[in-house]
Amino acid sequence: MKKALITGITGQDGAYLAEFLLAKGYEVHGIKRRASLFNTDRIDHLYQDPHEENRNLFLHYGDLTDSTNLIRILQQVQPDEVYNLAAQSHVAVSFESPEYTADTDALGTLRLLEGIRLLGLENKSRFYQASTSELFGKVQEVPQTEKTPFYPRSPYAAAKLYAYWVTVNYREAYGFYACNGILFNHESPLRGETFVTRKITRALARISLGLQDCLYLGNLDAKRDWGHAKDYVRMQWLMLQQDAPDDFVIATGKQYAVRDFVNAAAKELDLNISWQGTGINETGQDTKTGKTIVAVDPQYFRPTEVETLLGDPSKAMEELKWKPEISFEQMVSEMVQKDLEGAKKDHLCQTHGFNTYDHNE
Ligand code: NDP
Ligand code: GDR
């Protein structure tokens, strides 16, 4: 039975990847940060009681900023595959916490690689690094491929740039089987609530039931190549199953603006939005009620923005025989329907006199 170690198992990709690997018969080990709450919502359906026999999912407390515990876990698990998904992954937050972002996303990657090397596991443990389209930042070429030059535009992207290159370096210097997946944005109902897609689907579902008045967003013109997380974790595994390690762009090759995403999510809820104004004065009205349900709030603008990203996944398609199976429309629909379920529960509580609380971030 193969053993996989996933950092960031409590995150969106970690949850999908754990499910995927368990279905393939892996013994899965995940690193989870100590928090004051359980914080395992995304993997609770996979959880197995520690007293159960024949368990195949194990959680270990740890943190990418603590090399001693990373080394201990690596030594204990002796993984065949390490998926480094843990990160302070929010671009806007990285401007607020740049040092922590660098410590986790850049040095955290180094700590893991060095741990593998110190333990002499470089010939055993294949390594996947969660690299990102944010590396392209201020894009130098359209569409972006594995050969497009990088130009990071945030402390997050700069930290991930270090992680990208140190992964390449350990491959070249010490013969690691180490790969970078340069993944473009990927979403799902498990996406964190403060990323733009999930923020939109949650808010519009709540607005459709009268639980919220308005959705406040930043740059509506930003364009992204959005895929589904389920399709992308399959690719993370595929990269570690080849004869030789390499780096791959994973994308859909299609691009939409944030405004397009809002329109697609609204359509799924039978809402129709008419847009007026431009820039910070742009608003979206519900055509049935005339009420403003989308507005721009400049607090969501970033000091430096990545305006447009569009990936070319040809290499992955040709060499790994990968192609995305879930369309943009299917993904939006799945996210909206899941958030509508949650909103309906809140609505039911409220109509029976119970308070529910929500964040509008
Ligand atoms: P999430 O933000 O959903 O999950 C991040 C995970 O990392 C969580 O489990 C989080 O734990 C954990 N984590 C954060 N800081 C630390 C730390 N210091 N030590 C240990 N664990 C930590 O991200 P995604 O699942 O969306 O993304 C997975 C990876 O892929 C990330 O590295 C991200 O940067 C990268 N990526 C994501 C893309 C996307 O579109 N989703 C695209 C390209 C790259 P906790 O639950 O406790 O917060
Ligand atoms: P991104 O994702 O920065 O691309 O990073 P996010 O969803 O946060 O932003 C996408 C674009 O939407 C614009 N935007 C807003 N973003 C947020 N979060 N909230 C808003 O209100 C809002 N309004 C407009 C942003 O300015 C941006 O242009 C994600 C993360 O998962 C990274 O970890 C990953 O590396 C990249 O995708 C690829």
- Average confidence (pLDDT) per 10 residues, the chain, 361 residues: 98 98 98 95 93 93 98 98 98 98 99 98 98 98 98 99 99 98 98 98 97 98 98 98 98 98 98 97 98 98 98 98 96 98 96 83 74
- The answer to whether the beta carbons of residues 176 and 170 sit under 8 Å apart is yes
Indicate which residue's Cα is closest to atom 11 of ligand 2.
Answer: 222
pLDDT at 360: 72
Distance 89 CA to ligand 1 centre (A): 5
Q: What is the pLDDT of residue 355?
A: 82
| H runs (alpha helix) in the chain | 12-23, 67-77, 91-96, 98-101, 108-118, 155-174, 196-208, 229-239, 258-268, 314-319, 328-351
- pLDDT at position 26 is 98
Helix (H, G, I), strand (E, B) or coil at 223: strand
User: pLDDT at position 48, please?
Assistant: 87
Start-end of CATH 3.90.25.10 domains in the chain: 196-223+256-306+328-352
Pocket test for ligand 2, best of 164, 195, 260 (most atoms within 8 A of CB): 195
Residues in contact with ligand 1 (CB, 6 Å cut-off): 7-8, 10-14, 31, 33, 35, 39, 63-65, 85-89, 104, 130, 132, 183, 185-186, 192
Q: Which ligand is nearest to the CA of 12?
A: 1
Question: What ipTM was estimated for this complex?
Answer: 0.99
The class (CATH top level) of 196-223+256-306+328-352 is alpha beta
Please list the residue range(s) of the chain that carry CATH number 3.40.50.720. 3-183
CATH code for 3-183?
3.40.50.720
| pLDDT, position 2 | 98
**pLDDT for res 311:** 98
Active-site annotation, residues = 132, 134, 156
**Alpha carbon distance 232, 324 (integer Å):** 8
∠261-264-266 over CA atoms, to 5°? 105
Q: Quote the tokens at residue 350.
A: 């409220």
Q: Give which of 22, 29, 27, 25 is closest to 7, Cα–Cα.
A: 29
Copy the structure tokens of residue 257: 């603006």
Using CB atoms within 10 A of its CB, is residue 341 exposed (0-12), middle (13-18) or buried (19+)? exposed
pLDDT at 56: 96
- Which atom of ligand 1 is found nearest the CA of 183? 43
Report DSSP state, residue 359: -
Q: Which residues pair with 321 in a beta bridge?
A: none
- Tell me, what's the pLDDT at 356? 81
What does the pLDDT read at residue 1? 94
- Cβ distance 77 to 5 under 8 Å? yes
Q: What local confidence, expressed as pLDDT, does residue 49 receive? A: 87
Contact 77, 26 (CB under 8 A): no
